[in-house]
C-alpha cells in the first residue's frame, strides 16, 4: 500500500484512506512499526523481521543545543557506551605507558596525547557502526526511514523527514523506543549557551581543555575519568553524593582513586552561573553549600552531566491517552512492555522504571519481538542486572548494595565478606592499589545466598559479567568457595574471599 505523501492535504487524504482500508480489511502496511532506532529499537525490529513480520523503523536525531548530530544507532553507538569506552581505553593506555617504563620499555621524551587523533579515530569507528546498522536493516528486510516519528492513533505513525516530507505508516503494533537526551539545568544563566553535554563531548573537533564536569553519577564520573586520563585539567562538581543508588563504600573508593589519579572534586557545590569572558574562557560561579561561600574559577569547557530526560512531548502520546509518569515524562509500562493503550509498547530508556542500559534495552526488544510474533511468551527479567562504571578504576556490581541489603534483611541478617587486594600488574609498576577492593554481601543464615557482589579494579566489567551468571543461578557463598580460581587474576580473589566485615579482621590479601 502506498503511504508516501508530501503536503498536509494529501496526507489527510491518505490517512483517511488508511482508516477506511483498515476497517474493511483489518490489514496494515506493517505488522510492526518501531519509532526510535537505538539499541532497543534496532534489536526489536531486526528480531521481528527475522521471525517473519513486516517491519519498519524510524530513527531521527534532533541536533544537540550545540548543533552536534550523528547517524543511526541511538545513544549507545553515537554518544554513549561506544565512544565513552574507547575514550576510557585511550585514558587507560596513558596509565599503561607510564607503567611500561617500569616494565623495561624505553620511551624517550615526554608522552603527549592528541585529542584530535583520538576523536577522529573514535568518530570513524562510530560512523562504521552507523553504516553497519543500515546494512543489517537492509539485509533483514526492515524498512528504515530517517524520519521523526509521532503517533496519530494506536495503529498509525507519521514520519516527518528533515526536508518536511510526511509519510504515514499503519501497523498492527507500534513500539516506542525513543530513549532520552541529556538535561541542562533550568535555572543557571549561561548553562545552555556556554555548556556542553555528553551529546557533544565525543564529537568535539578540538580538545575541550580545562573542563568542569557538573554531576556525579555514571556519565559525569566516566567523562571526568577519561578527560583526566588524556591530560585535561578536570574538576567534578558534586552537589550531594557520588554514584547515588550504588553501594556508597564502593562509590567512595571510585572517587578516592580518581582524586589520586588527578581529578579534582568540588564537593557539596552547586553551580550558580556561567559567563563567557572577553578572553573566551568560561567563568563559573558556584556556591559551596557547606559554608555558603561563593567561589569562581575559569574553564575552557563546562560539561553538564546532570541526568537525562525522555523526549515524549513530540510523540503525540498524550492525545492518544498513553499514560506517562508526570514527574519523569517516561511511558508507564507493564511487565510485557505494554503501554496503557492497546497495541502501543515501549521499553528501553523511555520506559518508566527501566534500567537505562543498552543490554536491557536489547534483550527487552528481542523478547518483545518474539512475543509479538507469537513465538514466545517469555518476559524480560529486569532483576539483578549487572553493571559497570567505567571510571579510571572500574567498578562492577550485581545485586544489592550493602546499604540496601541491610535495609531489607537487617544488619544481623547479612554477612559481608570482603578483601583489599593488589592486582599483580600493579606490583612491578609500583601502582597504589589502596582502592582495589571486593565484597560479597550474603544472607547470614542458611546457605548464605549471595545478595550483592561488588568489585573495583582493572577490567571490572569482564570480572562482573562472569559472576553475574552465578548470581542469576542463585549462587551462595559456599558455591563461591567451591569455585576454583584462575591464577593469577584479579577475579580469583572473589573465589577466595573469607574475611567477614563483622570480624573486624584485616581484609588485606597477602600472598597468593
Ligand atoms: P536510544 O539508544 O537513546 O535510542 C533512541 C533513538 O530514537 C535515538 O536514535 C533517537 O535519536 C531516536 N528518536 C528519538 N525520538 C525520535 C522520534 N520521535 N522519531 C524517530 N526517532 C527518534 N549503557 C550501558 O549499558 N553501558 C554503558 O557503558 C553506557 N554508557 C553510556 C554512556 C553515556 C555517555 C550515556 C549517555 C549513556 C550510556 N549508556 C550505557 C546508556 C545507553 O546508551 C542507553 O541505555 C541505551 O542507548 C538506551 O537505548 P534505547 O534504545 O532505549 O534508546
Ligand atoms: P543520573 O544517574 O540521573 O545522575 C545525575 C547526576 O547529576 C547526579 O549525580 C545528580 O546529583 C546530578 N545533578 C542533577 N541535577 C543537578 C544540578 N542541577 N546540579 C548539579 N548536579 C545535578 O544521570 P547520568 O549520569 O546522566 O546517567 C543516566 C543513565 O545513563 C544512568 O542511570 C545509567 O543507567 C546510564 N549510563 C550507564 C553507563 C554504564 O553502564 N557504564 C554509563 C553512563 C550512563 P544528585 O545525586 O544530587 O541528584
Q: Where are the beta strands (DSSP E) in 78-222?
A: 143-145, 148-153, 156-160, 166-176, 180-182, 195-196, 211-214
Confidence label for 331 from pLDDT (cuts 50, 70 and 90): very high
Confidence label for 415 from pLDDT (cuts 50, 70 and 90): very high
The C-alpha cell that represents 30 in the structure block? 506493517
Same domain, 351 and 411: no
Same domain, 286 and 347: no
Same domain, 138 and 211: no
Q: How many Å lie between the centroid of ligand 2 and the Cα of residue 354?
A: 15
59 lines ligand 1 (CB under 6 A): yes
* pLDDT at residue 240 in the model: 97
Task: Please pick, among 88, 375, 487, 498, the residue that the annotation labels catalytic.
Answer: 487
* pLDDT at residue 27 in the model: 87
Q: Which protein residue has the closest C-alpha to ligand 1 atom 35?
A: 80
375 is catalytic: no
Domain for residue 510, yes or no? no
How many degrees, rounded to 5, is the angle at CA 450 between CA 444 and CA 456?
Answer: 115
Task: Give the end of a domain, one of 306, 341, 373.
Answer: 306
Where do we find the cell 573465589?
495
Pocket test for ligand 2, best of 191, 218, 221, 362 (most atoms within 8 A of CB): 218
Burial (0-12, 13-18, 19+ Cβ within 10 Å), 3: buried
177 lines ligand 1 (CB under 6 A): yes
Bridge partners, 438 (sequence order):
419, 455
Domain for residue 13, yes or no? no
| Domain carrying residue 63 | 21-182+307-383
Q: Is pLDDT at 452 greater than 70 in this prediction? A: yes
Q: What is the CATH number of the domain that holds 472?
A: 3.30.390.30
The per-residue pLDDT for range 35-56, each reduced to its tens digit, is 999 999 999 999 999 999 999 9
Task: Give the end of a domain, one of 306, 338, 372.
Answer: 306
Same domain, 302 and 324: no
Q: Which protein residue has the closest C-alpha to ligand 2 atom 21?
A: 215
Give the integer Cα–Cα distance in Å for 349 and 36: 11
Q: Is pLDDT at 13 greater than 60 in this prediction? A: no
- Mean pLDDT score, 403-419: 98
Same domain, 38 and 174: yes
315 lines ligand 1 (CB under 6 A): yes
* pLDDT at residue 426 in the model: 98
* pLDDT at residue 26 in the model: 56
361 lines ligand 1 (CB under 6 A): yes
* Ligand 2 site residues, Cβ closer than 6 angstroms: 185, 214-220, 222, 239-241, 244, 270, 305-308, 355-357, 387-390
Q: Is pLDDT at 89 greater than 60 in this prediction? A: yes
Domain for residue 492, yes or no? yes
What SS3 state is found at 304?
A: strand
Task: Give the end of a domain, one of 364, 383, 402.
Answer: 383
Q: What is the phi/psi pair of residue 261, to 5°?
A: -80, -15
58 lines ligand 1 (CB under 6 A): yes
Which helix (H) or strand (E) is 454 found in, with range?
A: strand 450-456
Ligand nearest to the CA of 246: 2
Q: How many Å lie between the centroid of ligand 1 and the Cα of residue 468?
A: 23
Confidence label for 92 from pLDDT (cuts 50, 70 and 90): very high
The per-residue pLDDT for range 150-182, each reduced to its tens digit, is 999 999 999 999 999 999 999 999 999 999 999
* pLDDT at residue 512 in the model: 67
Q: Is pLDDT at 22 greater than 60 in this prediction? A: no
Q: How many Å lie between the centroid of ligand 1 and the Cα of residue 510?
A: 43
Same domain, 69 and 55: yes
Give the integer Cα–Cα distance in Å for 278 and 194: 13
Atom of ligand 1 nearest to the CA of 314: 18
- Mean pLDDT score, 336-357: 98
Same domain, 348 and 414: no
Q: Is pLDDT at 394 greater than 60 in this prediction? A: yes
Same domain, 320 and 177: yes
Domain for residue 8, yes or no? no
Q: What is the CATH number of the domain that holds 300?
A: 3.50.50.60
Q: Which protein residue has the closest C-alpha to ligand 2 atom 34?
A: 356
Q: How many Å lie between the centroid of ligand 1 and the Cα of residue 351?
A: 12
Give the integer Cα–Cα distance in Å for 90 and 108: 20
Pocket test for ligand 2, best of 83, 219, 236, 303 (most atoms within 8 A of CB): 219
Domain for residue 129, yes or no? yes
Atom of ligand 2 nearest to the CA of 198: 26
Burial (0-12, 13-18, 19+ Cβ within 10 Å), 233: middle
Domain for residue 297, yes or no? yes
157 with 55: CB under 8 angstroms? no
Q: Which protein residue has the closest C-alpha to ligand 1 atom 15?
A: 178
Same domain, 318 and 340: yes
Ligand nearest to the CA of 360: 1
Domain for residue 508, yes or no? no
Orientation angle between helical segments 218-229 and 81-102, nearest 10 degrees: 40
Q: How many Å lie between the centroid of ligand 1 and the Cα of residue 155?
A: 24
Q: Is pLDDT at 296 greater than 90 in this prediction? A: yes
Q: How many Å lie between the centroid of ligand 1 and the Cα of residue 41?
A: 10
Among 255, 282, 260, smallest CA distance to 271 is for 282
Which helix (H) or strand (E) is 72 found in, with range?
A: none
* pLDDT at residue 11 in the model: 30
Number of domains in the chain: 3
The C-alpha cell that represents 17 in the structure block? 484512506
Among 79, 281, 119, 128, smallest CA distance to 205 is for 119
Q: Is pLDDT at 183 greater than 50 in this prediction? A: yes
268 with 179: CB under 8 angstroms? no
Ligand nearest to the CA of 347: 1
The C-alpha cell that represents 431 in the structure block? 601502582
Orientation angle between helical segments 39-50 and 115-139, nearest 10 degrees: 30
Confidence label for 16 from pLDDT (cuts 50, 70 and 90): very low
Ligand nearest to the CA of 316: 1
Q: How many Å lie between the centroid of ligand 2 and the Cα of residue 36?
A: 22
Pocket test for ligand 2, best of 38, 307, 398 (most atoms within 8 A of CB): 307
Atom of ligand 1 nearest to the CA of 315: 18
Give the integer Cα–Cα distance in Å for 390 and 393: 7
Same domain, 300 and 311: no
More reliable by pLDDT, 11 or 223: 223
The per-residue pLDDT for range 96-153, each reduced to its tens digit, is 999 999 999 999 988 999 999 999 999 999 999 999 999 999 999 999 999 999 999 9
Among 83, 88, 166, smallest CA distance to 130 is for 83
237 with 269: CB under 8 angstroms? yes
What SS3 state is found at 319?
A: helix
The per-residue pLDDT for range 215-262, each reduced to its tens digit, is 999 999 999 999 999 999 999 999 999 999 999 999 999 999 999 999
Give the integer Cα–Cα distance in Å for 416 and 500: 5
Confidence label for 463 from pLDDT (cuts 50, 70 and 90): very high
Q: Is pLDDT at 17 greater than 70 in this prediction? A: no
Give the integer Cα–Cα distance in Å for 347 and 335: 10
Q: Is pLDDT at 2 greater than 60 in this prediction? A: no
Q: Which protein residue has the closest C-alpha to ligand 1 atom 41?
A: 357
More reliable by pLDDT, 410 or 110: 410
Atom of ligand 1 nearest to the CA of 72: 9
148 lines ligand 1 (CB under 6 A): yes
pTM of the shown model: 0.94
What SS3 state is found at 438?
A: strand
Q: How many Å lie between the centroid of ligand 1 and the Cα of residue 286?
A: 31
Give the integer Cα–Cα distance in Å for 257 and 263: 9
Q: How many Å lie between the centroid of ligand 1 and the Cα of residue 482?
A: 40
Burial (0-12, 13-18, 19+ Cβ within 10 Å), 248: middle
In the DSSP assignment, the letter for residue 351 is B
Mean pLDDT for all residues in the chain? 94
Atom of ligand 2 nearest to the CA of 185: 18
Amino acid at each position: 500500500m502506498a503511504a508516501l505523501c508530501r503536503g498536509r492535504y494529501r496526507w489527510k487524504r491518505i490517512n483517511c484512506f488508511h482508516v477506511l482500508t483498515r476497517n474493511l480489511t483489518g490489514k496494515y502496511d506493517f505488522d510492526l512499526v518501531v519509532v526510535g532506532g537505538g539499541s532497543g529499537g534496532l534489536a526489536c525490529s531486526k528480531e521481528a523481521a527475522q521471525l517473519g513480520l513486516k517491519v519498519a523503523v524510524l530513527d531521527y536525531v534532533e541536533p544537540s543545543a550545540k548543533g552536534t548530530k550523528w547517524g543511526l544507532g541511538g545513544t549507545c553507538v553515537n554518544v554513549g557506551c561506544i565512544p565513552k569506552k574507547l575514550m576510557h581505553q585511550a585514558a587507560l593506555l596513558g596509565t599503561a605507558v607510564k607503567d611500561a617504563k617500569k616494565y623495561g620499555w624505553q620511551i624517550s621524551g615526554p608522552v603527549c596525547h592528541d585529542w584530535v587523533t583520538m576523536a577522529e579515530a573514535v568518530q570513524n569507528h562510530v560512523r562504521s557502526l552507523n553504516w553497519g546498522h543500515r546494512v543489517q536493516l537492509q539485509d533483514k528486510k526492515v524498512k528504515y526511514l530517517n524520519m521523526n516519528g509521532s503517533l496519530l492513533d494506536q495503529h498509525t505513525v507519521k514520519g516527518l523527514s528533515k526536508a518536511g516530507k510526511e509519510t504515514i505508516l499503519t501497523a498492527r503494533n507500534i513500539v516506542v523506543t525513543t530513549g532520552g537526551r541529556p538535561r541542562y539545568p533550568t535555572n543557571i544563566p549561561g548553562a545552555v549557551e556556554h555548556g556542553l553535554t555528553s551529546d557533544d563531548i565525543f564529537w568535539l573537533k578540538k580538545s575541550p581543555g580545562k573542563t568542569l564536569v557538573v554531576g556525579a553519577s555514571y556519565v559525569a564520573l566516566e567523562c571526568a575519568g577519561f578527560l583526566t586520563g588524556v591530560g585535561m585539567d578536570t574538576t567534578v562538581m558534586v552537589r550531594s553524593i557520588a554514584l547515588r543508588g550504588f553501594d556508597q563504600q564502593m562509590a567512595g573508593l571510585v572517587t578516592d582513586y580518581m582524586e589520586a589519579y588527578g581529578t579534582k572534586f568540588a564537593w557539596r557545590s552547586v553551580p550558580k552561573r556561567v559567563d563567557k569572558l572577553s578572553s573566551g574562557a568560561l567563568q563559573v560561579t558556584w556556591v559551596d553549600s557547606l559554608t555558603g561561600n561563593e567561589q569562581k574559577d575559569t574553564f575552557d569547557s563546562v560539561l553538564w552531566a546532570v541526568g537525562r530526560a525522555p523526549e515524549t512531548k513530540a510523540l503525540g502520546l498524550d492525545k492518544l491517552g498513553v499514560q506517562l509518569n508526570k514527574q519523569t515524562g517516561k511511558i508507564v509500562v507493564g511487565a510485557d512492555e505494554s503501554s496503557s493503550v492497546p497495541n502501543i509498547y515501549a521499553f528501553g530508556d523511555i520506559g518508566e522504571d527501566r534500567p537505562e542500559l543498552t543490554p536491557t534495552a536489547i534483550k527487552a526488544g528481542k523478547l518483545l519481538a518474539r512475543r509479538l510474533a507469537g513465538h514466545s511468551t517469555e518476559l524480560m527479567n529486569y532483576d539483578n542486572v549487572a553493571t559497570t562504571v567505567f571510571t579510571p578504576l572500574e567498578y562492577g556490581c550485581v545485586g544489592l548494595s550493602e546499604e540496601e541489603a541491610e535495609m531489607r534483611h537487617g544488619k544481623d541478617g547479612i554477612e559481608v565478606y570482603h578483601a583489599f587486594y593488589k592486582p599483580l600488574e600493579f606490583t612491578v609498576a609500583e601502582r597504589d592499589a589502596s582502592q582495589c577492593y571486593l565484597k560479597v554481601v550474603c544472607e547470614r543464615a542458611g546457605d548464605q545466598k549471595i545478595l550483592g557482589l561488588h568489585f573495583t579494579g582493572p577490567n571490572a566489567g569482564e570480572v562482573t559479567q562472569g559472576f553475574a551468571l552465578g548470581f542469576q543461578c542463585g549462587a551462595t557463598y559456599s558455591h563461591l568457595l567451591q569455585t576454583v580460581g584462575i591464577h593469577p587474576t584479579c577475579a580469583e580473589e572473589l573465589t577466595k574471599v573469607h574475611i567477614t566485615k563483622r570480624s573486624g579482621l584485616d581484609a588485606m590479601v597477602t600472598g597468593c
